Amino acid sequence: MANNHKPVSDYVRSAFFGFEDSLVSTCGFIAGFSIRTSDKDLILLAGLIAISVEAISMAAGEFLSEETTNDLSRRRTTKPLTGGIVMLFSYAIAGLVPLLPAVLLPHSIAVPAAIGASFIGLFILGYFKGRITKRSPVSSGLKVLIVGGVATVIGILVAKLIK
């Protein structure tokens, strides 16, 4: 008898990965890009391009890796197209979290607001991860915030060093 929970957990993994990766990489990109320019139209354009390209790339990678896993195991444990779609939407939605403050707020507070929104998003994501996995939601939230936050800060520091 097949494990009916396996595909669901794979899709939860895809969603978590998409949300987390987008919060970190999009925030780092938006913050770094905003350090170089205060042009809101350019920030919006670059942010939308980055989110679109990365969401499609992540969806394609998820689709191909799930298909490869199915091929290696010689059975269909997941639906690769569904995993790719879950990844696409989770990445795209999470990418809006740092982009919206960057384009809607005055430039003087846009970058800190984008970073703050992403950090709050990381904590919330980890909190729900803890609830789903029956672990401490607060500890899980802090762990995702710290791991994702460190990656975000490193990206921003690189942008500042290059400036």
Q: What is the pLDDT of residue 140?
A: 97
151: which residues sit within 8 A by CB, 6+ positions away?
24, 28
Mean pLDDT of 63-78: 86
Q: What is the pLDDT of residue 1?
A: 40
**81/52 Cα distance (integer angstroms):** 18
DSSP secondary structure, 71-128, as one string: HHHTS--S-HHHHHHHHHHHHHHHHHHHHHHHHHS-HHHHHHHHHHHHHHHHHHHHHH
User: How confident is residue 4, by pLDDT bands cut at 50, 70 and 90?
Assistant: low
pTM of the model: 0.89
**6/111 Cα distance (integer angstroms):** 39
User: How confident is residue 5, by pLDDT bands cut at 50, 70 and 90?
Assistant: low
79-119 tens-digit pLDDT: 899 999 999 999 999 999 999 999 999 999 999 999 999 99
CA-atom Rg of the chain in angstroms: 17
Q: What is the pLDDT of residue 2?
A: 47
Q: Where are the domains of the chain?
A: 5-157
